[in-house]
Structure 1
């Protein structure tokens, strides 16, 4: 009660002493200018107008020069005196006229935009490095408007407050601190949502600098590679607060994902961003980004940001608008990076001598205040190297891409509308007020319904229906029990007939990231009338995992499971094709994995003792559809290397060691935890050694070694090259059986699952399995501008084309196998289709062409 009284008195005190200016910002035709910027001259104190052009700026008593600006309109500066209460001040902005008198483009001459952009590109990193640190308060408002909802979900979502044509809001106020080069700390002071936080977020743009070469995977106009992706046109210049501003039209050479289009405004002589209005497309969504910059401590910084995301996916469509107002509280500008230098276009001015590598930047600027665009970029690179060296000497890890921390104030979700009236810098429109009122009433009903549902559906209570559907139960604060229904794992194969698994999974967590789990699993095969099962226990943290498992179960000969059991059930019952081949194993196995040793190395070691048995098909397995030209194949796989892959019951004691090395592993830190970039450019090297130790009946006795590597190379926003190379051999093979062979990720069904990079498209599952030596190569090149994707309409649908080669080399009589693939990815955003030509030397007049096939795949992860 004391706290509530104090808060009430504080809010009343603020309300009683509020003063400043308020009004409406319009065009000369009295049309509102939504989200126009208002800022006090020379500071970052400011706000935004709302969607109706209305604004309100709190100011202490005194005299101010207030700047009103809107992209494409002439900036207006007004002197105001604040004595008490609010003063009304309506502003009319005139459209900005462009001057072309001094810069005319003659026939055959280079457009002046290129000279401007060369200097802006050369100085981009300079501007990015100017700020050593800052603290700011950011206000963000998002408005989401669903424009299309699938019919089947319409009623359900309506109960949640989501209706077609009705907008809902999210507001937040956050304190942000930044430290060069990549550390961001955010504290959410207050947040108010008329629905929830599930809308798309433009954070990749808000906390990104458009001086960077890329933002959210999109090449910026100030990237060193910009001239390969953009054409530029000079549209004129105007004057703003004593600065000459050049308007440059940004024209992508081929519009689509990964590039922007629109306009960017560059300050003359500073070659810094004044503002921009750019558009791009990402995953089928149209993204518009606007930013207005203002001078603070002689550095132009973004204070007004607007984002608009529009599009649809899987039957949903909508529009999301975001406005961000940045108020910089503290700003630390690097004194070594001053603006009093001249950047000359190296194509227009004589080239000056390159700066000395060892000289200090400050001394170099004092000695030479004019630099060519090329030399200045070299200079900044040297400065970055010095900064990187200093960070290393201070013990910082330079492989960290970002270091973010986000915390939420304990009262962030509890502040009421009265508090928000004093905190919100941008007034609500009438539609937004109604949206809050509507959604607040929906939220009350939903909370009451959720309370009733939680009573009826207590997660700790058992219900008979759970036997069919499966369920998860909470057993205390950090303990859970999951039950997996047999219906979830019901499968059919020619060896077991119908079979299902029934499993429980109990997990206990403690400390920061420790967990212990116990998983008993039972399996019943109706065709064999056999009950089997396993028991697995795990002890793990984020960095390591120890596992012990034993029992009896059936496994595919290829431990990588090239065909999912569910898909095999479909092919067996409907297409009379039993692709999956399995054997039985009674075993005891232990594994230990340590992840990211020194952040670059992960190690896994395992020891297994097993009694392995061959299995045969049932006497008369029956598909749903009897295909006249097909028949089930034996469960004994056919291979080219040996005529018979059958084996006796035997013992197998094996030990296996696996290492993955990522010497250039990079990562981000979020709230103190590392998150590694597996998809980032850079090679990964693999080492695997497996040894069979002779013990017991018909033992195994062999040594197997394989080495490999994968590499993903980003060739730009529209192109990527991925390749994987893997080779190995049985160094000693005194005794081994078909489960010990080296198998490959083949595929014989028209629907493709698995890793699209390392899986063959038409290779028979076991035909090329080997107990000798092998090498395989996979190369995948993808592009959004190759053949059909040169058509803009198709490219904007999100399509990608791929060219692929998959090759396998084994000793004679097997020989080599090769696939050449052309594919189209992104059909309906979910599917891919591929044409595959496969070759085997010497099969047809020495040409080796085997045939042409087609495959359909999906971007979803099918288990």
Structure 2
């Protein structure tokens, strides 16, 4: 019995020692007002935390003797001795404000000169400190809290506000998020984050900051960027070229132990640049950063928020190595009368600057989210939560958990499902109707009538019904079935086909797919106009751009990664193809003689007798398509839903091969090979981003092939155009398709407001400037060129450009696109 008791006591003591004791308290100013987000750390360690909005902090410590440091920008640093023996300790602190007295004994010109001398030293050491720590790992606690401060009562009714847990004045938390991650980093550019715990309630976080990687701020980098706020980067106050963009002023000097700290005010030379306001704290002689308090305002071209404050504190790991302890993003904003505010906190602990990662540790996986990490219990969060929850945060979590529990109760399943899936006529007319059964993991989507009805000269007024059925299985395997029924009132032809896709290994992007049936297909296999836009063009301008053919087909294919960054795809198809002709020549307010035949190679008038001459004979075609897409240095995220590819700063290459086989009744016989190089949104710092697409290809065998087998290009004859990478603005959709060799190149640069952001009144519109050009050469069209400029605002874009080529007139005009 004594042995059992002894073992129990030993286990209990060991458990207490492992969990440690709690140091907590409240931090306030000399008037007793709480100070929010004050960093607290144990001197000589990288163990620290940050106070919550009410100044309350907490820190787990083992028995021992410590020195606790309270350091807050704008207040004098305070240190307190602490002894932990066998119980929790409460330690309340009052901080005194810093006194800026430097100006009283330093002449103005000397002050300015001193600040620039200091900053030149800091800038000269920037690169050294950037590369000082080659690799490290640490534990990061992340917290995000977004609140609604007010909202128009007209838009946000009282009953909706109640459902959202807002008070009668439409105030309250709308999003709350916490996570614990193991963060691993190696220079240059190697990151691997493993999320260990997640707790969230409400909507998604603004900017998409859902992981520690998104919240990294390294002021030693020349440029800082956060994709959720701007397409341009921001210039660090200590960048190599910072003296071109910033003015500096020495505000104060104070001491921290034996170190002298300079407080430097940074202000932009030009207000509308991508630059910061604020202060940075510099350690003299070392010329390294001690802390920073920086601000971005709307005029710095940030999206979604009006102001953004960034506070970062550094602490020493050794005498010569300092690392970030805490990072605080706080923001305010207004959209359509909705005023909101929030913050993101990141606290790094337990740094190891000599982790000795294994050779293959950084394998491209940058973020890993394990299964059930959002199911951690209260004990886990009690031991790992760095920032104490406020009362309203506890209440918000509690209400959210109650709502989830109620939704999952068996007796509530049918009523909840019925309410969520209720059919509403007016919303359905504007957008599709979606039926979801979360318990059987089934989703059914039915497109709106606006997407079902269309008009073209081949089919007349037609209907195309294409619902989608999605079934999710264990391990996030999915089965998607898309039946499609189509009927034209003019040609009286009914077609039906079905597409099936089964994703059996999300981690390898592995799937098998197939289709069978009949359909009317675009003669340009790269795509032209949507059915909706072609309807508008035909009816109101008399331009029936879309050209079709009819096919009966059966195909099967598969895709999957054979290694990280190498995705293979293969498909086999047997099809019977038929030429079709116009059966309707109706156009609103336009003479039908402007309409053309369905033959894109010889676009006769639709009334010409030759318009019914077939483009190609009806025939059978057996073909295969294969491709290998290679993403260099591919990085990806793994979560329970599968593998998701991250944006890359490296180009991608795709090798395509097609072959037609003259067997089993097929009469096609050809071999086509092409290679594509492309990259989307290559970051160019303060100058926005660029995109490019280059493709070269050739038919090595062209014994027997027909127009649908040709290499097609994405043209742009209509006022509405496709702004996706690799599209032309003015090229005929069909005329220059080829069965020979070709070369095409496209380049586009989005300056993201670099120029217009300097223009008064216009800069508030957040308009982005776009320039670009395209080039094509092939046997029928030598040295075809396009150049254009454009303006983009959110989802809409308007371009003006011109084109010319050998034996072609110069074309010019406007092109418009939208991406709703």
TM tier, smaller: 0.7 to 0.9
Residue 402 of structure 2 is aligned to residue 400 of structure 1: no
Deviation (angstroms), 1:254: 6.2
- Separation in 2 of the partners of 1:608 and 1:215? 46
User: Paired residue for 1:305, among 327, 340, 353?
Assistant: 327
- Separation in 2 of the partners of 1:630 and 1:208? 63
Judging changes above 3 Å, is the alpha-carbon distance between structure 1 residues 200 and 725 closer, same or farther for their aligned structure 2 residues? Answer: closer
What does residue 36 of structure 1 align with? 38
What does residue 144 of structure 1 align with? 147
- Separation in 1 of the partners of 2:676 and 2:55? 61
Q: Are 2:585 and 2:595, in contact at CA under 8 Å, matched by a contact in 1?
A: no
- Separation in 2 of the partners of 1:410 and 1:698? 55
What does residue 715 of structure 1 align with? 684
Deviation (angstroms), 1:585: 0.6
Q: Summarize deviations over 1:138-197 as a string: whole Å, max 9, x none.
A: 3635242254469556567425316565121766665433344233333227x474x455
- Separation in 1 of the partners of 2:417 and 2:447? 19
Residue 499 of structure 2 is aligned to residue 536 of structure 1: yes
Q: Summarize deviations over 1:500-552 as a string: whole Å, max 9, x none.
A: 33456555655646555554433222322222212334444333333332221
Q: Which runs of 5+ in 1 are unaligned?
A: 1-8, 336-386
Deviation (angstroms), 1:655: 2.5
Judging changes above 3 Å, is the alpha-carbon distance between structure 1 residues 608 and 44 closer, same or farther for their aligned structure 2 residues? Answer: closer
Deviation (angstroms), 1:62: 7.2
Q: Are 1:221 and 1:250, in contact at CA under 8 Å, matched by a contact in 2?
A: no
User: Paired residue for 1:579, among 537, 545, 548?
Assistant: 545
What does residue 77 of structure 2 align with? 75
- Separation in 2 of the partners of 1:523 and 1:640? 26
What does residue 561 of structure 1 align with? 527
Deviation (angstroms), 1:75: 1.1
- Separation in 2 of the partners of 1:23 and 1:692? 76
- Separation in 1 of the partners of 2:563 and 2:125? 39
What does residue 233 of structure 1 align with? 248
Deviation (angstroms), 1:795: 5.1
- Scaled by the length of structure 1, the TM-score of the pair is 0.76
Q: Are 1:147 and 1:319, in contact at CA under 8 Å, matched by a contact in 2?
A: no
Q: Are 1:459 and 1:472, in contact at CA under 8 Å, matched by a contact in 2?
A: no
User: Paired residue for 1:610, among 575, 578, 602?
Assistant: 575
What does residue 517 of structure 2 align with? 551
Residue 783 of structure 2 is aligned to residue 819 of structure 1: no
Q: Are 2:221 and 2:239, in contact at CA under 8 Å, matched by a contact in 1?
A: no
Worse-superposed segment, 704-713 or 82-91: 82-91
Deviation (angstroms), 1:821: 0.4
Deviation (angstroms), 1:565: 1.4
Counterpart secondary structure, 2:734: coil
Residue 263 of structure 2 is aligned to residue 247 of structure 1: yes
Q: Summarize deviations over 1:360-394 as a string: whole Å, max 9, x none.
A: xxxxxxxxxxxxxxxxxxxxxxxxxxx8xxx7xx5
What does residue 496 of structure 1 align with? 459
- Separation in 1 of the partners of 2:123 and 2:601? 63
Q: Are 2:417 and 2:437, in contact at CA under 8 Å, matched by a contact in 1?
A: no
User: Paired residue for 2:316, among 267, 270, 295?
Assistant: 295
Q: Are 2:137 and 2:352, in contact at CA under 8 Å, matched by a contact in 1?
A: yes
What does residue 368 of structure 1 align with? none
Q: Are 1:609 and 1:651, in contact at CA under 8 Å, matched by a contact in 2?
A: no
What does residue 186 of structure 1 align with? 195
After TM superposition, the structure 1 = structure 2 runs for residues 752-763 of structure 1, keeping only pairs within 5 Å, are 752-755=721-724, 757-763=725-731
What does residue 320 of structure 1 align with? 342
Worse-superposed segment, 454-463 or 317-326: 454-463
Deviation (angstroms), 1:323: 3.6
- Separation in 2 of the partners of 1:654 and 1:798? 51
- Separation in 2 of the partners of 1:314 and 1:696? 63
- Separation in 1 of the partners of 2:541 and 2:344? 51
Residue 352 of structure 2 is aligned to residue 332 of structure 1: yes
Counterpart secondary structure, 1:216: coil
Deviation (angstroms), 1:584: 0.4
- Separation in 2 of the partners of 1:400 and 1:425? 30
Q: Which runs of 5+ in 2 are unaligned?
A: 1-11, 228-232, 605-609
Deviation (angstroms), 1:741: 2.9
After TM superposition, the structure 1 = structure 2 runs for residues 42-441 of structure 1, keeping only pairs within 5 Å, are 42-44=44-46, 46-53=48-55, 64-79=66-81, 89-97=92-100, 99=102, 111-129=116-134, 132-135=136-139, 138=141, 140=143, 142-148=145-151, 151-152=154-155, 154=157, 157-161=160-164, 163=166, 165-168=170-173, 174-181=179-186, 182-188=191-197, 191=199, 193=201, 195-196=202-203, 198-200=205-207, 202=209, 203=211, 204=213, 206-207=215-216, 209-212=218-221, 214=224, 216=226, 218=233, 221=236, 227=242, 230-231=245-246, 233-236=248-251, 237-251=253-267, 260-280=276-296, 282-285=302-305, 286-298=307-319, 299-312=321-334, 317-326=339-348, 328=349, 330-334=350-354, 395-396=359-360, 400=364, 402-405=366-369, 409=373, 412=376, 415=378, 426=387, 433=391, 437=395
User: Paired residue for 1:676, among 641, 645, 649?
Assistant: 645
- Separation in 2 of the partners of 1:117 and 1:822? 41
User: Paired residue for 1:482, among 439, 444, 451?
Assistant: 444
Q: Are 1:127 and 1:272, in contact at CA under 8 Å, matched by a contact in 2?
A: no
Q: Summarize deviations over 1:260-311 as a string: whole Å, max 9, x none.
A: 4433222234443311112345434343211122334544333333211333
- Separation in 2 of the partners of 1:142 and 1:295? 29
Worse-superposed segment, 399-408 or 234-243: 399-408
Superposed CA RMSD in Å reads 4.5
Q: Are 1:517 and 1:539, in contact at CA under 8 Å, matched by a contact in 2?
A: yes
Q: Are 1:661 and 1:686, in contact at CA under 8 Å, matched by a contact in 2?
A: yes
Counterpart secondary structure, 2:685: coil
Worse-superposed segment, 245-254 or 299-308: 245-254
Judging changes above 3 Å, is the alpha-carbon distance between structure 1 residues 159 and 167 closer, same or farther for their aligned structure 2 residues? Answer: closer
- Separation in 2 of the partners of 1:820 and 1:275? 47
Deviation (angstroms), 1:582: 0.9
Q: Are 1:279 and 1:288, in contact at CA under 8 Å, matched by a contact in 2?
A: yes
Judging changes above 3 Å, is the alpha-carbon distance between structure 1 residues 447 and 60 closer, same or farther for their aligned structure 2 residues? Answer: closer
Judging changes above 3 Å, is the alpha-carbon distance between structure 1 residues 578 and 149 closer, same or farther for their aligned structure 2 residues? Answer: farther
What does residue 344 of structure 1 align with? none
- Scaled by the length of structure 2, the TM-score of the pair is 0.79
Q: Are 1:278 and 1:290, in contact at CA under 8 Å, matched by a contact in 2?
A: yes
What does residue 799 of structure 1 align with? 767
What does residue 739 of structure 1 align with? 708
- Separation in 2 of the partners of 1:229 and 1:453? 63
Deviation (angstroms), 1:435: 6.8
What does residue 725 of structure 1 align with? 694
Judging changes above 3 Å, is the alpha-carbon distance between structure 1 residues 719 and 150 closer, same or farther for their aligned structure 2 residues? Answer: farther
Counterpart secondary structure, 1:120: helix
Residue 671 of structure 2 is aligned to residue 706 of structure 1: no
Aligned residues: 765
Counterpart secondary structure, 2:581: coil
Judging changes above 3 Å, is the alpha-carbon distance between structure 1 residues 449 and 697 closer, same or farther for their aligned structure 2 residues? Answer: closer
Q: Are 1:554 and 1:582, in contact at CA under 8 Å, matched by a contact in 2?
A: yes
- Separation in 2 of the partners of 1:619 and 1:858? 29
Q: Are 1:23 and 1:56, in contact at CA under 8 Å, matched by a contact in 2?
A: no
- Separation in 1 of the partners of 2:274 and 2:28? 35
Judging changes above 3 Å, is the alpha-carbon distance between structure 1 residues 221 and 435 closer, same or farther for their aligned structure 2 residues? Answer: closer
What does residue 808 of structure 1 align with? 776
Counterpart secondary structure, 1:748: coil
Judging changes above 3 Å, is the alpha-carbon distance between structure 1 residues 98 and 746 closer, same or farther for their aligned structure 2 residues? Answer: farther
